[in-house]
Amino acid sequence: MSYRPKFHLSAPQGRLNDPNGMTLIGDELHVFYQHDPVFPHAPKRTGWGHAVTTLGDGTWRHFPDALYPGMPYDENGCYSGSAVVHEGRMRLFYTGNVKREGVRFTSQNIVDVEDLQGPMGGVYRRRPNNPVIDGSPEGYTAHFRDPHVSFDPDTGTWRMVIGAQREQETGAAVLYTSPDLDNWEFAGEIEMIGLNYNVASAYMWECPNLLRMRDLTRGEDFDVLVFCPQFPDSDQCGYIVGRLQGLRFEVLTDFTPLDYGHEFYAPQLVPFGQGALMLGWMGLPGRDETPSLESEGWVHQLTLPRELSLIDGSLHTSLLLPQQSDGMVVARHELGAEPWSAELVDTSGSIGATLKWQPSAHGSHTLSLAVNGLMRWAHCDAGELVFTADGAAVELTAGGGEVAFSSAVFPQDGHEWKELRVN
């Protein structure tokens, strides 16, 4: 049996990482992703892969790669970015990466897309005036990347948030604005009011997403900033909730992890209803040695699409499961007042992961997921647990979506997952 999941997006070959350019057109979800098709057999040259799924179906159709390095401003990589469809036109925004004699140069670039629904999945034309943002503003290093573009409902214009590193080697998010999606002006750095010191001290903030969402409990709109603060010994990913006025972001919900599992990074969000739709990379920087790479030539996968809802200042997660989930283990359990545990078992009888629920009389309940002796845990309320195992991809939500876990878990060679066995 293959390690490849049936319903989680993985690259046909080579290395996959960050989801890029998520676009929802009707019920069709287009997902671009960082793709190095010849990894690990040649020097790294990352472009953008492209696949599409119909929500509820769960299967993916792959198209030829949309972008591949080749211009003077992206010769060492077409790095992460986003997509916007406006007035019937799709634009991709991405970071061009260049390394010369050990020195990094970055730029932000635009690609016009035609015939997205065609048999090749689009025709992609880089703007002749690229880069539209050449380099970084004064006070920031060349670690300046991952543009996420969204509409600003307060001004009726467009805003681009970029992950940045100050010259003092601390992370930040900066804003550019545009009246037309073509011409961009530097507005400045987002000033965080009330952000905890540890997150503020990270050496880089990657993959920012800035969206306006309706809090379903409070009946008010709030700004949600998702980003990935990097530290010398860890890579984190989470969100803050508050209000952005100009460049001042008043933090009302401090930095909170989006996922508590072993592999989750660089998510991308698009508006969906009153909340958002999200996919995340089930991987981490620098962790590419997996059984699937050696035996099948591919590494890493994306999460299932997830619906995010803002409830009383916190993001809650719902997995969008395929309507027909044959080939995937799906289990549900109501976590309550009694301790509970279960094991993910493959057809050889081997255990791939262990789940444990430990309720507390004081209300500080704990859910843990252990894989290969490494445990991840989170506090959450009692409520429904939804568990999935699909090839090498394990995902779960608990506490009615209060927490989520994503982990790459590989069955024994030649076997597949059989069941979540309750102890």
6 domain-assigned: no
**Confidence at residue 286, expressed as pLDDT on a 0 to 100 scale:** 85
Determine contact, residues 332/387, Cβ cutoff 8 Å: yes
Residues 66 and 147 in one domain: yes
Structural domain harbouring 408: 329-422
- pLDDT above 90 for 77: yes
348 & 213 share domain: no
Number of domains, the chain? 2
Structure tokens at 40: 């690990």
Within-domain flag for 191? yes
Q: Among 308, 338, 358, where does a domain finish?
A: 308
- Domain annotation covers residue 251: yes
Phi-psi group of 309: left, alpha or beta (phi > 0 → left; psi -120 to 50 → alpha; rest → beta) = beta
C-alpha of 31 from chain center: 11
The single-letter code of the amino acid at 340 is W
Q: Quick one: pLDDT at residue 363? A: 79
Helix (H, G, I), strand (E, B) or coil at 329: strand
Whether 206 is in a domain gets the answer: yes
Do residues 300 and 394 share a domain?
no
> What is each CA distance from 255 to 103, 186, 199, 224, 391, in whole angstroms?
32, 26, 7, 11, 32
**Does the structure show a pLDDT above 80 at 256?**
yes
Domain CATH number, residue 22: 2.115.10.20
Residue 398 located in a structural domain: yes
Same domain, yes or no, for 210 and 88? yes
H or E element in which residue 199 lies? helix 197-200
Same domain, 272 and 362: no
The tokens of 384 are what?
A: 């429904």
Q: What's the token pair of residue 239?
A: 């969100």
Q: List the catalytic residues.
A: 18
**101, 122 Cβ separation under 8 angstroms:** no
Contact call for residues 187 and 175 (beta carbons, < 8 A): yes
* Whether 369 and 277 share a structural domain: no
Question: For residue range 341-395, what is the model confidence (pLDDT) as tens digits?
Answer: 999 999 999 999 999 999 998 878 999 999 999 999 999 999 999 999 999 999 9
Domain end marker among 249, 279, 308: 308
Residue 319 domain-assigned?
Answer: no
What was the pLDDT predicted at 399? 94
Contacts of 409 (CB under 8 A, 6+ apart): 344, 352, 353, 371, 389, 392, 393, 394
3-state secondary structure (DSSP) of residue 294: helix
10: which DSSP letter? B
Do 293 and 190 have their domain in common?
yes
Residue 213 and residue 70 in one domain: yes
pLDDT mean over 231-251: 95
Q: Quote the mean pLDDT of the chain.
A: 96
Q: What is the structure's pLDDT at 421?
A: 98
C-alpha 117 chain-centroid distance: 24
The answer to whether residue 321 is domain-embedded is: no
Q: Whole-model pTM above 0.75?
A: yes
Residue 322 DSSP class: -
Please tell me the total number of residues recorded for the chain in this structure: 423
2 domain residue, yes or no: no
Residues 222 and 278 in one domain: yes
My answer on whether 164 and 276 are in the same domain is yes
